[in-house]
Amino acid sequence: MSGPGLRVLVTDADYGVLDIEEQVLAAAGHELRTARCRTPAEVIDAARDADAVLVQYAPITAEVLDALPRLRLVSRYGVGVDVVDTDAARARGVWVCNVPDYGTTEVALHAVAVLLALLRNLPEHDRQVHAGRWDHRLGGRLRRPDGLTLGVVGLGRIGRTTMAGAAPWFGAVVGHDPHLPDDAWPAGVERLGLAELFARSDAVTLHLPLTADTRGLVGADLLGRMPAGSYLVNTARGGLVQLDAVLQALEDGRLAGVGLDVFPTEPPPAGSPLLAHPRALLTPHVAWYSEEAEVELRRKAAGNVVSWARTGRPDHVVVEGR
């Protein structure tokens, strides 16, 4: 693209003052505006004269794209683009881009930390000590991890980094990723179908995008295949997991513990049984976060717009526009 600067709207963001985005865009001659959109109607109202939008959670639907013919690029704060109707964007020639590599270390570290905390039942030991009870048996049954099998579902950047961090503690590691070619498969990791992976894994960690095929993927069927007393960790997308099935698996002992950083609705509704469950280790969608990761995320999300305006192509393309 060429010509005068672009009008860029941040539809929504949880980062406070958007000085980083403003600096990146202003240095290239572009104008930044901000809004607090949660619905398609709010996006349409705020973005009527926008050339590009930066999006965190606001829905970019076919309705939105039809109502905003000037809009040519959507840049998502994050890896996943499930808030964007990518098929609709493709049909209308709208670029969709993301930031695929800003928090790999942070998410993998968080997943490994949650997994090991569950294996040692640190939350329950902490509660007992704070309650004045000093007895190692109150934390329940603990097993030596080198006799357990770890299953990793999704072997992109984060999945592979998580695997590398957790694998030394486990006796075996198995993986599932239908999109990873054989010549890129990690050495020493057995490749399994999804059902078999759950059947053979004492602990499963999820690292998948949320798509029509993966929404609600982990439910009663897959959880019911796991050995009794297993563990599940999800730091990827909340919609991958059916929470009612997780709760049932905790109640019947199929799961000894679950670690969730993401939820289908965030925050989870008050009164959700998982919020009070002693074997659910819950964190507030924080796996991605470090001070450095936030700066990198915001710079790169805005940088997609700058690169597109300068070269005709954003840095990290999910959907090719025109």
Note the pLDDT of residue 3: 54
Q: Which of 7, 160, 237, 298 is catalytic?
A: 237
Nearest to 246 by CA among 234, 126, 235: 234
The pTM of this model reads: 0.93
For tokens 């295949």, name the residue. Answer: 225
CA–CA separation, 316 and 4 (whole Å): 23
Please tell me whether residue 204 adopts helix, strand or coil conformation: strand
pLDDT band at residue 305 under the 50/70/90 scheme: very high
| pLDDT number for residue 270 | 94
Mark whether 191 is an active-site residue.
no
Max distance between CA atoms of the chain, in angstroms, equals 71
- Tell me which of 133, 143, 251, 266 is the catalytic residue: 266
Higher pLDDT, 2 or 264: 264
pLDDT in tens, 268-302: 999 999 999 999 999 999 999 999 999 999 999 99
Task: For residue 108, give the 3-state DSSP assignment.
Answer: helix
User: What is each CA distance from 156 to 206, 241, 314, in whole angstroms?
Assistant: 11, 19, 21
Across 139-150, average pLDDT:
95
First and final CA of the chain: distance in angstroms?
Answer: 11
Confidence bin at 90 (pLDDT 50/70/90)? very high
- The two beta strands, 73-76 and 172-176, are unpaired
Q: How many helices (H) and strands (E) does the chain have?
A: 11, 13
Q: What is the CA 156 to chain-centroid distance, rounded?
A: 12
Q: What are phi and psi of 214, to 5 degrees?
A: -105, -10
Question: Mean pLDDT, the chain, as a whole number?
Answer: 96
> Taking residues 29-54, what's their average pLDDT?
98
Query: Known catalytic residue: 125?
Result: no
Our answer to whether residue 63 is catalytic in this structure is: no
The predicted-structure confidence for 187-218, as pLDDT tens digits, reads as follows 999 999 999 999 999 999 999 999 999 999 99
Q: Compute how many other C-beta atoms are within 10 angstroms of the C-beta atom of residue 87.
A: 11
Q: Which pLDDT score is estimated for 4? A: 73
* Tokens representing residue 308 in the block: 């597109």
Q: Which of 285, 296, 299, 313 is catalytic?
A: 285
Q: What is the mean pLDDT of residues 143-168?
A: 97
Query: What's the pLDDT at 181?
Result: 95
Q: Which domains does the chain have, with CATH numbers?
A: 7-102+291-319 (3.40.50.720), 104-282 (3.40.50.720)
Whether the predicted pLDDT of 163 surpasses 90: yes
* pLDDT over threshold 60, residue 1: no
Percent above pLDDT 90 for the chain: 98
